[in-house]
């Protein structure tokens, strides 16, 4: 698994938005976590295409679960 910088934002309804930092330019790309599938590609404004593996999505789901358990 690559070392993507991944975070999760939680809204007031406890829905998760995945936040991924572009490894090329540092721009933060956001996408609703529940709509992503393994091998999803997130395009950055700089032209970089960021691929998300099953491991990335499991890590994001784990962050979501930990956040709402607090």
What confidence tens digit (pLDDT) does each residue in 15-26 have? Answer: 999 999 999 999
pLDDT of residue 2: 59
pLDDT category at 1 given cuts 50, 70, 90 is very low
Q: Which of 12, 11, 48 is nearest to 20 (CA)?
A: 48
Strand partners, 4: none
Q: How far apart are CA 14 and CA 2, in angstroms?
A: 27
Copy the structure tokens of residue 57.
């999505």
Tens-place pLDDT, residues 7-56: 999 999 999 999 999 999 999 999 999 999 999 999 999 999 999 999 99
* pTM as predicted: 0.88
Which one has a higher pLDDT value, 26 or 3?
Answer: 26
């Amino acid at each position: 698994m690559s070392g993507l910088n991944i975070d999760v934002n939680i809204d007031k309804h406890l829905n998760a938005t995945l936040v991924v930092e572009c490894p090329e330019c540092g721009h933060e790309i956001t996408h609703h976590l529940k709509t992503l599938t393994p091998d999803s590609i997130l395009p950055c404004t700089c032209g970089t295409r960021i691929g998300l593996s099953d491991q990335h999505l499991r890590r994001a789901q784990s962050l979501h679960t930990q956040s709402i358990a607090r």
